């Protein structure tokens, strides 16, 4: 007796997906399982010992630093989200509804996306000459007489961290929002205009509701990138601020893997919870 | 055509500022990398020279830049090829619903949204606890795939959502084998998108930092090398390196876009109007 056609079909699908499944198992599922396991291990100063103890979590939740750092992480995420959404929406809106020729739309869209394919580290470094004590921003402000002494908080501060986040991640808002805006039927906007709606009403009652899936996808990208970041915060704050990612990377640098793993588990739980809530508002498979 | 409204000019100005914001800093370090030998990390320029580029070519001055560049380039190619092949196979398989497809789909989304440091830490721990050495071409390679594959797959899902299957049926009716259908019908139609997937695969790998941090082993990739430099190099040689690697990225991106444009044009010129509807 042979396999039914349906079973044969799904067998073929799984065969074609086997390379993907191998990568996902070895480099995603097993590493997460490993982190969860190690989060229950014990650590001495020089080694880690397999065990099943809750001391890493007890220490994590018992320390006031943890709460401060989590609050700081949410603060970065929220401010960055608001900035990238405002900028990203305006940019996408301009591209989708004000640029009339397809050729210009594609050209300007590509100009927005090219930095995404270049190095984040270099893009962070490139803020030094602009924000430094003797940097362009301070010299310009001083020559205009806006300030008398150079501002110290431009570089190596929370301001610099958020500026860098917005700089790095606004494209993640622009692309999905532009994508959904391009799919809005022009006739819907015409109908609204014929019905007597003004520009703002069209924006608020037609375009924004129809752009929601794109906004949601952009939100997922920006929130997860900021929540999981450790390098931007370290570099742009001059090691003066902390977020959860830095807490993990500091533990790693001290070879305190069980403690790093416990923090990582909590971070992963937080991120996945946020994503699962956001996914209730958008069906990604339908939006592709 | 109706005249441009005031909001057009406002938004156009905003868009211009956004582009300045995106590219301004990079252009600034490009200019500053031509500092004279006594110049510092900020303006003013103390003369104009190639001093800092020249410094880059003296191995001992800045560490193993060229070795790390070679590794990053090779790794980029490995990740690119794997991403294209695995994404196409995945995209084809996902056209039909099969048991477990939803679980696998959300696994791909998880791979995309999981904080990079978890991959780095997890893969690092997994390898060290299994007694394997971390190396950029094994653990580093796999860790980067968890970031490039979701992008490649999502692009392929989008492509196949818009794919007209009647072309395949026509080929099959004419007696083409499954392999022939793939080789002569499917691949040529999705060709331009594959170049897009390749672009993502290569550039995301070439610039990847967080996922390679604990998985590259003793031989650094270029982003790791550059990050190491930020803590101990305080001369414009950092800008010179930044400028060169950004230039390299831009050349690669242009090459990909050019090939994409050429293949899309060729397709438009050669393709018949079958399936387009009107007579």
Over 80: is that where the pLDDT of A2 sits?
no
* Pairs of residues, one from chain A and one from chain B, whose beta carbons lie less than 8 Å apart: 246
Share of chain B above pLDDT 90, in %: 35
Q: Is A1 exposed, middle or buried, given 0-12, 13-18 or 19+ CB atoms closer than 10 A?
A: exposed
pLDDT at B101: 87
Peptide bond into A29 cis (omega under 30): no
Alpha carbon distance A8, B56 (integer Å)? 58
| Closest partner CB to B145 (pick from A23, A30, A245) | A23
pLDDT at A270: 94
pLDDT at B151: 93
Cβ under 8 Å to A: B residues 151-180: 153-154, 157-158, 161
pLDDT at B278: 44
**Tens digits of per-residue pLDDT, B223-268?**
988 888 887 777 788 888 889 888 998 998 899 889 888 888 887 7
Q: How far apart are the first and last CA of chain B?
A: 30
Local confidence band at B60 (pLDDT 50, 70, 90 cut-offs): low
Taking the Cβ of residue A199 and every Cβ of chain B, the question of whether any pair is shorter than 8 Å is answered with: yes
Q: How many residues does chain B have?
A: 279
Lowest mean pLDDT among A41-55, A164-178, A195-209: A41-55
**Tens digits of per-residue pLDDT, B77-87?**
999 999 999 99
What three-state secondary structure class fits A48? strand
Q: What residue in B sits closest to A14 (Cα-Cα)?
A: B93
Domains and CATH numbers, chain A: 63-287 (1.10.3720.10)
Q: What are phi and psi of A64, to 5 degrees?
A: -65, -25
Alpha carbon distance B180, B168 (integer Å)? 10
Of residues A25 and B40, more confidently modeled: A25
The residue-averaged pLDDT of B42-48 equals 77
Taking the Cβ of residue A147 and every Cβ of chain B, the question of whether any pair is shorter than 8 Å is answered with: no
| Closest partner CB to B14 (pick from A24, A90, A231) | A90
pLDDT at A190: 87
Cβ atoms of residues A77 and A156 within 8 Å:
no
Local confidence band at B275 (pLDDT 50, 70, 90 cut-offs): very low
**Tens digits of per-residue pLDDT, A44-79?**
777 788 888 888 898 889 989 999 999 999 999 999
Local confidence band at B62 (pLDDT 50, 70, 90 cut-offs): low
Q: For this complex, say whether ipTM is above 0.90.
A: no
Closest CA to B167 of B90, B278, B279, B272: B272
**Tens digits of per-residue pLDDT, B1-16?**
566 778 889 999 999 9
Of residues B44 and B225, more confidently modeled: B225
Cβ under 8 Å to B: A residues 17-36: 17, 19-21, 23-24, 26-32, 34-35
Mean pLDDT rounded to a whole number for chain B: 86
Domain covering B63-232 assigned CATH 1.10.3720.10 in the classification: yes
Cβ contact, residue pair B107, A19, below 8 Å = no
**Tens digits of per-residue pLDDT, A237-258?**
888 888 999 999 999 988 889 9
Domain boundaries, chain B: 63-232
Local confidence band at B43 (pLDDT 50, 70, 90 cut-offs): confident
pLDDT at B271: 61
Over 50: is that where the pLDDT of B279 sits?
no
Over 70: is that where the pLDDT of A114 sits?
yes
pLDDT at A1: 44
Cβ contact, residue pair B223, A167, below 8 Å = no
Alpha carbon distance B173, B167 (integer Å)? 10
Taking the Cβ of residue A274 and every Cβ of chain B, the question of whether any pair is shorter than 8 Å is answered with: no
pLDDT at B263: 84
Q: What are phi and psi of B3, to 5 degrees?
A: -70, 155
Over 50: is that where the pLDDT of B148 sits?
yes
Q: Is A59 exposed, middle or buried, given 0-12, 13-18 or 19+ CB atoms closer than 10 A?
A: middle
Q: Is B259 exposed, middle or buried, given 0-12, 13-18 or 19+ CB atoms closer than 10 A?
A: middle
The residue-averaged pLDDT of A19-41 equals 94
């Amino acid at each position: 007796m042979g396999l039914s056609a349906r079973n044969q079909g799904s067998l073929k699908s799984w065969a074609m997906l086997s390379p993907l499944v191998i990568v996902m198992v070895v480099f995603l599922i097993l590493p997460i399982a490993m982190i969860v396991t190690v989060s229950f291990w014990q650590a001495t100063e020089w080694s880690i010992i397999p065990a099943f103890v809750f001391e890493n979590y007890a220490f994590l939740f018992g320390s006031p630093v943890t709460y401060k750092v989590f609050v700081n992480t949410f603060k970065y995420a929220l401010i960055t989200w608001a900035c990238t959404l405002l900028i990203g929406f305006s940019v996408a809106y301009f591209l989708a509804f004000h640029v009339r020729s397809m050729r210009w739309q594609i050209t300007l869209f590509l100009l927005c996306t090219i930095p995404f394919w270049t190095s984040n580290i270099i893009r962070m470094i490139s803020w030094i000459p602009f924000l430094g004590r003797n940097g362009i921003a301070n010299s310009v402000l001083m020559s205009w007489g806006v300030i008398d002494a150079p501002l110290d908080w431009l570089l190596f501060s929370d301001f610099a961290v958020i500026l860098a986040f917005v700089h790095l991640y606004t494209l993640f808002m622009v692309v999905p929002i532009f994508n959904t805006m391009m799919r809005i039927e022009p006739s819907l906007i015409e109908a609204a205009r014929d019905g007597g709606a003004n520009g703002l009403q069209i924006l608020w009652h037609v375009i924004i509701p129809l752009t929601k899936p794109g906004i949601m996808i952009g939100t997922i990208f920006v929130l997860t990138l900021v929540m999981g970041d450790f390098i931007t915060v370290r570099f742009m704050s001059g090691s003066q601020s902390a977020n959860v990612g830095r807490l993990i990377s500091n533990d790693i640098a001290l070879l305190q893997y069980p403690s790093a793993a416990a923090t990582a588990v909590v971070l992963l739980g937080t991120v996945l919870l946020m994503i699962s809530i956001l996914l209730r508002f958008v069906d990604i498979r339908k939006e592709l | 055509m109706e005249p441009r409204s005031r909001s057009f000019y406002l938004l156009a100005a905003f868009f211009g500022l956004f582009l300045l914001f995106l590219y301004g800093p990079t252009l600034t370090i490009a200019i500053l990398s031509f500092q004279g030998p006594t110049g510092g990390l900020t303006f003013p320029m103390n003369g104009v020279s190639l001093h800092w580029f020249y410094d880059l070519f003296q191995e001992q001055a800045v560490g193993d830049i060229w070795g790390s560049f070679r590794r990053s380039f090779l790794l980029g190619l490995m990740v690119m090829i794997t991403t294209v092949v695995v994404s196409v196979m995945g995209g084809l398989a996902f056209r039909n619903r099969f048991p477990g497809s939803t679980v696998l789909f959300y696994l791909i989304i998880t791979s995309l949204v999981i904080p990079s440091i978890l991959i780095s830490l997890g893969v690092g721990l997994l390898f060290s606890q299994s007694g394997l050495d971390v190396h950029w071409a094994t653990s580093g390679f796999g860790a980067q795939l968890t970031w490039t594959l979701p992008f490649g797959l999502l692009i392929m899902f989008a492509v196949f959502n818009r794919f007209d299957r009647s072309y395949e049926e026509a080929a099959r009716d004419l007696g083409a084998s499954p392999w022939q259908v793939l080789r002569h019908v499917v691949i040529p139609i999705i060709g331009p998108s594959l170049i897009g997937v390749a672009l993502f695969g290569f550039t995301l790998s070439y610039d990847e930092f967080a996922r390679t941090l604990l998985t590259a082993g003793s031989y650094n990739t270029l982003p790791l090398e550059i990050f190491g430099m930020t803590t101990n190099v305080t001369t414009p040689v950092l800008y010179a390196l930044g400028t060169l690697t950004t230039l390299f990225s831009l050349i690669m991106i242009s090459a990909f876009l050019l090939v994409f444009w050429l293949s899309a044009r060729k397709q438009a010129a050669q393709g018949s109007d079958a399936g387009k509807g009107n007579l």
